[in-house]
Amino acid sequence: MAAINVTDDDFDGVIGSSDVPVVVDFWAEWCGPCKQMSPHIEAVSDELDGKVKVAKINVDENPIAPSKYGVRGLPTLVMFKDGKVAATHLGAMSKQAIADWIKQSV
């Protein structure tokens, strides 16, 4: 399943209602490493469909969620389990590194 786009308005609902862990990609249009990582995020989302849900949130258009979860740099990946932060990773990663980080964090 492709990564879903979330906003400040539906963020808590998507995270809280999920029966599987949710990985959120905090990104911005101007962020080069974010653009570089985007296809990897989509590929991992497809590969791990059913095991995790992957969501993306544009921090420029949605400033509340990044502020709430202390996002200070981009790209940042945050793993939520049962609506709570379980793991955080700052910086770009390869497709394999993303998949490994998710598997270690789940």
Residue 31 appears among annotated catalytic residues: yes
Residue 89 appears among annotated catalytic residues: no
Q: Which of 3, 24, 31, 77 is catalytic?
A: 31
Per-residue CA distances from 23 to 35, 44, 64, 79, 93 (Å): 17, 11, 17, 4, 14
Q: Which of 24, 34, 57, 79 is catalytic?
A: 34
Per-residue CA distances from 78 to 36, 53, 55, 72, 74 (Å): 18, 12, 10, 12, 11
Catalytic residues: 31, 34
